[in-house]
Structure 1
Amino acid sequence: MCGIVGIFDTRGARAIDPELVRRMNETQHHRGPDEGDVYTEAGVGFGHRRLSVIDILSGQQPMFNAAGDVGVVFNGEIYNYPELTAELQALGYAFRTKSDTETIVHAWEAWGEECVHRFRGMFAIAVWDRKAQTMFMARDRLGVKPFYYALLPDGMFIFGSELKSLRAHPDLPRAIDPQAVEDYFAYGYVPEPKTIYAGAAKLSPGYTLTVKIGQPVPAPKQFWDVPFKAHAGMTESDASNELVERLREAVKIRLKAEVPLGAFLSGGVDSSAVVAMMAGLMKDQPVNTCSIAFKHKDFDESEYAEKVARQYQTAHHTDTVDTDDYALLDTLADLYDEPYADSSAIPTYRVCQLARKRVTVALSGDGGDENLAGYRRYRYAMAENKVRAQIPAGMRRMVFGPLGKYYPKADWAPRVLRAKTTFEALSRDLVEGYFHGVSIMSDAMRARLFSDQFRSKLQGYRAIEVMRGHAAASPTDDPLSMVQYLDMKTYLPGDILTKVDRASMAHALEVRVPLLDHKLVEWISGLSPELKLKGSEGKYIFKKSLEPYLPEEILYRKKMGFSVPLAAWFRGPLRERVRTSLLGPALADTGIFNREYLSELVEQHQSGRRDYSAPIWTVLMFEAFLRKETYGE
């Protein structure tokens, strides 16, 4: 696990300043504190920071082949590298190390761009082929590892593991992208492939990018997608048995490390399942498990983690975190480089901090909800869609659209009496309804949030276009599979995996994600939707398959997740911070916002009339980004 950077001259062979590459590289020192190096030649510069996990003695990067004409920098792990090494040795390639990095070098020599189909793991890769005058880049299928890039006005192409490495280049255009701002205030993050800067991009999960000297930079090319190809004739019993075996295998290949290894254990289904599989595979030693407890019991589920730890006799460690752990607010702005509004980044940061005291590698349960329909919002989306399906689309829009528009809003009322929300939901199609359900700020709120000047810059663009684009490319039209697919393209890489990558790498901790093994994801996607969401039970088949391994109170209790008491913070200890940030000069000077609406959000929340904690947090994190951007605070 590491951080990578690079500079590539698309126009020829201009000199690359090694000090500039080194400065870009050092912005990511936290990602790889064990070693670091840079390499430059005419037209090419590579930088690498290393967290040593496999082949500690000889896995240094940048790494070249024996002839010195193919080199690579790489962030991640290729779990099937022993099998690939044997295959490449049979083809005549000689290996000087025992690292997965060298496997990538020779895989490129043997198979060219097709090599990426052979890799099983999490990765962000850049390969320089001097003979072909080509830079080849790839990001893993689900987006576990990040990859940022930009084509500068002078034809230099730069890339890195974090946006801060690109910002270290003095020629990076840093104009803010209006569409990214619109996206951010809908989703709470800037979804791939955009970044907050108009002049930089993310390489989307499952994509490659091949740049050749003297040729225009092409659009990235997709090499993988979630197939959602149904399995024929699979019974519930067959699915249950095979799911456990596939999960066990996905965990097993992630246990190789030359450093201490453990797991996060929240007490939820996904992390508990991973620990159960680890315990069965690591019979000669206890699994190191880590969890955090909160002083406020409404946010604490550590007792469930303790139950699983006792069942599997793990070496369990728990740290108690003060529920009012808001001191990290400005730290988060530095970690994420662009606006990022998932407040669970705070406890995630803390659990990574705890884990790093005892291990260098931790397995997590991330991805289970997207794979197996575990989020409550899937249940709500399917219930709404079932009603929609009974009414012709034209009638829905003609009748329920106006009712939703003019019916009075009643957020204070019980859900069954909130007719305005119901009417609005019924007037939409599946994608529009799901987008509205996951949006932090609705279309109407964002219209009021932005100034007239800023709305004109959007030229009619709306954040729903992100989901519309993915829906148009979806391999499935099943409603449940469709919303899962949308999450896999947006929420999973943009929020969940971004959160875990930055929080873990801030502490030089490698996190491995067995539930996002691409072979497991492919197989799960082919299961019948009824096995994922059965009635009101999300992750149905997963829970059934785990009944021999975990107690009922772990499998079937109400999902909690990492939460923080934003509403109370903004009326109490952060009251003045909210007023200063939202109503101060940093936001006003941008020309983006309608100050009257910001004032309304603050006044109504702090008076207790409305709970606007999520929108306020979203604005607060945007303001923190702006201060970091403008003043370096």
Structure 2
Amino acid sequence: MCGIYGSTIYYNNTEIEHKLERTRFRGPDRSRYDRICSNGTEVILGHNRLSIIDLCERSDQPLAYMGKIHIVFNGEIYNFQELKESLSKKGYSFNTTSDTEVICAAYLEYGTDCTGYLNGMFSFVILDIENNRLFGSRDRLGKKPFYYFYDGEDFEFSSQISSIQLHHKKMSVSEASISYYLAWGAVPDPHSIYNEVKKLPAGHSFTFQLDTREFSSFCYWDIDYLGNNIYKGTYSDAKEELEEILKDSVKIRLFADVPVGVFLSGGIDSSIVAAMATKVTTSAIKTFSVKFDHHKYDESHHAALVAKHLGTEHHTIACDYNEGLNLIQNYSHYYDEPFADSSAIPSMLLSKYTRQHVTVALSGDGGDESFLGYLRYNVVKKRSFFNIPYPLRKILSGLLSIPNSYKLNVMSKGALIRDLDEYYLRTMVNVDDSWLDNKYNYYDLEDRKYLEHKHKGYLERISDFDIKTYLINDINTKVDRASMAFSLEARAPLLDYRVVEFARSIPTDFKFLPGNQKRILKDVLYQHVPKDIMERPKKGFGVPLAEWFRNELKEYVYDTLNEAALKEIPGIVPEKISFMIQQHMNNQWNRAPIIWKLLVLKQWLNSNAKGLSID
């Protein structure tokens, strides 16, 4: 787990060191860069290393292999030992025990198809001297970030956008991306907050020809959204097969030359990861959870019960308000694009203290998307409102549109939603979008194709859509930045592509029955953890922002989002926001999600947009 950087743009040594230093928290063990000449073109490759496998300097990067290629790599390849054995039989030799050399040999053997052989989380770039090109790739589900600048001539890339931003002369803030952020809470792939910088989409690779300066990308993996791969076995068969996949997924993620632990909230997903971990190793498993003073957000008691049953060495971390406030005020240093998932704060606190005990932590991310666990899936399933003909709903909308009644006006807007596809998109954004200026179409996402087709049932389609959008743009971004802020590697067994592909193939009722979401995942877990420990209402992983904004952070909200400040924020209707803030302070309506979005955006603009145009 590291931070990578590279460029064909000339920067002096001080500037390169500055760029690497900006994200040194991603890899504090060693930092290095090389200037490499490829057929007359200089390429800069840089790397900040967090040592996980083969801790020796021989595995430091940039790494040269067989005198043919150079690589910078962020992430882990979990099947590297199996792949290494196969490549050794083909004549490749290895001088380290790391996974980095294995990527190099796989590239030399399989060319740009090499990523199909890798099971892991990764973003990497290879300088291929013989073919005079850069080749790079991002893992199937976007666990690892990859930003790049390309203007038709020069190419620059990094794990985080801030390294590209430094000393760059061609940057402007994207007003369209601000609109996306305000709607979705994150800037979706392939966009970034800057017009000139893009994200390589998950499951994609690219080539950049150093002679012609031509950049091209291609998709090497995607979810089966057309429903071609249908599981034929029984529920009992599927449950047994899923458990074997999960055991192996956890086992290969426990391999490291540093201490490894497990995030344990006490929910289904983290509990099944912890349970599998205790089954596949004889070593004592360390587990970690976070405790809040506010009972609504505190699951530490449930985590402790699961840990006690599994016999793990459990650590409970108290969430301190002052620490949380400090993280809020320094948020944009680590999330160097606007990012509004407030559960990033407890994720950062959990990572900070977990890092005092281990260098790697397994998480339960991915279970809700693949196994239909979100509460909103149940809400959508029950939505009978769309059985009413649209013309009648238009009449109802008119009747509900009553002046000075905010709730009825929101219901009026909801009545005008034409179908379930639009309804799901609107609920993911906000049924009430009156505070957005609507200059840009923030629903204009390429990934809508995963939702708006008829090849699968509705729940499967929204699950696919969430995997391609919410999981990649929000969950994976949150966990990567939160963990790497404190040099902790987070691994997600439920995001092993084999788990995701299996979940996409099994029938909906294996995963979802009325009143029983994540059915098959629960039934696997109940073989290892008693059902009575697990059965309780689902909670989100968050902080009490609504209460903080009305109390401890009240002045901070008023100071940051005053009338003058609101006028400086693109994409909003300032008068509406002022009204919503007052609604929140008067305890009339919970406006914490919108207030948090704007606080994060204003902080980012204050830190990063001075002197830059916004267009």
In which range does the TM-score fall when normalised by the shorter chain? over 0.9
Does structure 1 retain, via aligned residues, the 8 Å contact 2:207–2:217? yes
Q: Structure 1 residue 480 and structure 2 residue 447: aligned?
A: no
Does structure 2 retain, via aligned residues, the 8 Å contact 1:16–1:41? no
How is 1:532-611 mapped onto 2 (pairs within 5 angstroms)? Answer: 532-590=511-569, 592-611=571-590
Does structure 2 retain, via aligned residues, the 8 Å contact 1:586–1:626? no
Structure-2 separation of matches of 1:566 and 1:62: 42
Deviation per CA, 1:603-627: give whole Å up to 9, x if none: 2221222221111111111111111
Does structure 2 retain, via aligned residues, the 8 Å contact 1:292–1:320? yes
Q: Give the equivalent residue in structure 1 for 2:317.
A: 319
Deviation per CA, 1:295-339: give whole Å up to 9, x if none: 122221111111111111111111211357333212212211111
Q: Give the equivalent residue in structure 2 for 1:430.
A: 420
Deviation per CA, 1:422-447: give whole Å up to 9, x if none: 8726733232111111115733332x
Q: Name the amino acid aligned to 2:600.
A: M
Q: Structure 1 residues 427 and 441 mapped into 2: Cα distance closer, same or farther (>3 Å)? A: closer
Structure-2 separation of matches of 1:580 and 1:255: 46
Does structure 2 retain, via aligned residues, the 8 Å contact 1:403–1:420? no
Structure-2 separation of matches of 1:412 and 1:289: 48
Does structure 2 retain, via aligned residues, the 8 Å contact 1:583–1:595? no
Q: 1:444 aligns with which of 434, 438, 451?
A: 434
Q: Give the equivalent residue in structure 2 for 1:197.
A: 194
Q: Structure 1 residues 101 and 441 mapped into 2: Cα distance closer, same or farther (>3 Å)? A: farther
Q: Give the equivalent residue in structure 2 for 1:293.
A: 291
Q: Structure 1 residue 226 and structure 2 residue 223: aligned?
A: yes
Deviation per CA, 1:159-181: give whole Å up to 9, x if none: 000111111132241x2212211
Structure-2 separation of matches of 1:382 and 1:194: 31
Structure-2 separation of matches of 1:575 and 1:607: 11
Does structure 2 retain, via aligned residues, the 8 Å contact 1:4–1:73? yes
- Normalised to the residue count of structure 1, the TM-score between the two structures is 0.90
Q: Give the equivalent residue in structure 1 for 2:92.
A: 93
How is 1:195-594 mapped onto 2 (pairs within 5 angstroms)? Answer: 195-215=192-212, 217-227=214-224, 228-283=227-282, 285-322=283-320, 325-384=324-383, 388=386, 390=387, 395-396=389-390, 398-404=391-397, 407-408=400-401, 421=411, 424=414, 427-440=417-430, 442-446=432-436, 450=437, 458=439, 461-466=440-445, 469-471=448-450, 476-590=455-569, 592-594=571-573
Offset at residue 370 of structure 1 (A)? 0.5
Structure-2 separation of matches of 1:134 and 1:70: 10
Q: Structure 1 residues 171 and 406 mapped into 2: Cα distance closer, same or farther (>3 Å)? A: farther
Q: Give the equivalent residue in structure 1 for 2:27.
A: 32
Greater CA drift, 318-327 or 30-39:
318-327
Deviation per CA, 1:400-432: give whole Å up to 9, x if none: 24533651479999xxx9796387267332321
Deviation per CA, 1:94-145: give whole Å up to 9, x if none: 2111111001111111111000100100000101111111111110000111
Divergent runs of 4+, >6 A: 409-413, 472-475
Q: Name the amino acid aligned to 2:197.
A: A
Greater CA drift, 319-328 or 329-338:
319-328
Deviation per CA, 1:550-608: give whole Å up to 9, x if none: 12234331111212222222221211211121125444235544332222122222122
Does structure 2 retain, via aligned residues, the 8 Å contact 1:141–1:205? yes
**Tell me, which stretches of 5 or more residues in structure 1 are unaligned?**
10-14
3-state DSSP of counterpart to 1:333: helix
Q: Structure 1 residues 129 and 468 mapped into 2: Cα distance closer, same or farther (>3 Å)? A: closer
Structure-2 separation of matches of 1:88 and 1:410: 71
Q: Structure 1 residues 441 and 502 mapped into 2: Cα distance closer, same or farther (>3 Å)? A: farther
Structure-1 separation of matches of 2:403 and 2:311: 50
Structure-2 separation of matches of 1:131 and 1:354: 46
Structure-2 separation of matches of 1:590 and 1:52: 41
Structure-2 separation of matches of 1:405 and 1:113: 57
Greater CA drift, 367-376 or 428-437:
428-437
Q: Structure 1 residues 591 and 438 mapped into 2: Cα distance closer, same or farther (>3 Å)? A: closer
3-state DSSP of counterpart to 1:443: coil
Q: Name the amino acid aligned to 1:309.
A: A
Q: Structure 1 residues 190 and 425 mapped into 2: Cα distance closer, same or farther (>3 Å)? A: farther
Q: Structure 1 residue 168 and structure 2 residue 166: aligned?
A: yes
Q: Name the amino acid aligned to 1:40.
A: R
Q: Structure 1 residues 277 and 489 mapped into 2: Cα distance closer, same or farther (>3 Å)? A: same
Q: Give the equivalent residue in structure 2 for 1:132.
A: 131
Structure-1 separation of matches of 2:339 and 2:307: 33
Structure-2 separation of matches of 1:111 and 1:230: 26
Q: Name the amino acid aligned to 1:6.
A: G
Q: Name the amino acid aligned to 2:217.
A: P
- Normalised to the residue count of structure 2, the TM-score between the two structures is 0.93
Structure-1 separation of matches of 2:569 and 2:544: 29
Q: Give the equivalent residue in structure 2 for 1:12.
A: none
3-state DSSP of counterpart to 2:345: helix
RMSD: 2.4
Structure-2 separation of matches of 1:300 and 1:45: 47
Structure-2 separation of matches of 1:409 and 1:359: 57
Q: Structure 1 residues 134 and 402 mapped into 2: Cα distance closer, same or farther (>3 Å)? A: farther
Structure-1 separation of matches of 2:206 and 2:533: 43
Q: Structure 1 residue 629 and structure 2 residue 601: aligned?
A: no
Q: Give the equivalent residue in structure 2 for 1:5.
A: 5
Q: Structure 1 residues 555 and 239 mapped into 2: Cα distance closer, same or farther (>3 Å)? A: farther
Does structure 1 retain, via aligned residues, the 8 Å contact 2:291–2:299? yes
Deviation per CA, 1:52-71: give whole Å up to 9, x if none: 1101112111111122x311
Does structure 2 retain, via aligned residues, the 8 Å contact 1:152–1:172? no
Q: Give the equivalent residue in structure 2 for 1:158.
A: 156
Offset at residue 506 of structure 1 (A)? 0.7
Q: Structure 1 residues 163 and 584 mapped into 2: Cα distance closer, same or farther (>3 Å)? A: farther
Q: Structure 1 residues 519 and 411 mapped into 2: Cα distance closer, same or farther (>3 Å)? A: farther
Structure-1 separation of matches of 2:350 and 2:330: 15
Structure-1 separation of matches of 2:222 and 2:195: 26
Q: Structure 1 residues 598 and 313 mapped into 2: Cα distance closer, same or farther (>3 Å)? A: same
Does structure 1 retain, via aligned residues, the 8 Å contact 2:451–2:462? no
Offset at residue 487 of structure 1 (A)? 0.8
Q: Give the equivalent residue in structure 2 for 1:78.
A: 77
Offset at residue 357 of structure 1 (A)? 0.7
Offset at residue 48 of structure 1 (A)? 0.3
Does structure 2 retain, via aligned residues, the 8 Å contact 1:387–1:426? no
Offset at residue 286 of structure 1 (A)? 1.4
Offset at residue 353 of structure 1 (A)? 0.9
* Aligned residue pairs, count: 603
- Percent identical pairs in the alignment equals 36
3-state DSSP of counterpart to 1:36: strand
Offset at residue 275 of structure 1 (A)? 0.5
3-state DSSP of counterpart to 2:435: helix
Structure-1 separation of matches of 2:248 and 2:415: 42
Q: Name the amino acid aligned to 2:17.
A: R
3-state DSSP of counterpart to 1:54: coil
Deviation per CA, 1:340-398: give whole Å up to 9, x if none: 111111111111011101000110000000110100011112222x653x56xxx42x3
Q: Give the equivalent residue in structure 2 for 1:185.
A: 182
Does structure 2 retain, via aligned residues, the 8 Å contact 1:125–1:138? yes
Structure-2 separation of matches of 1:554 and 1:541: 17
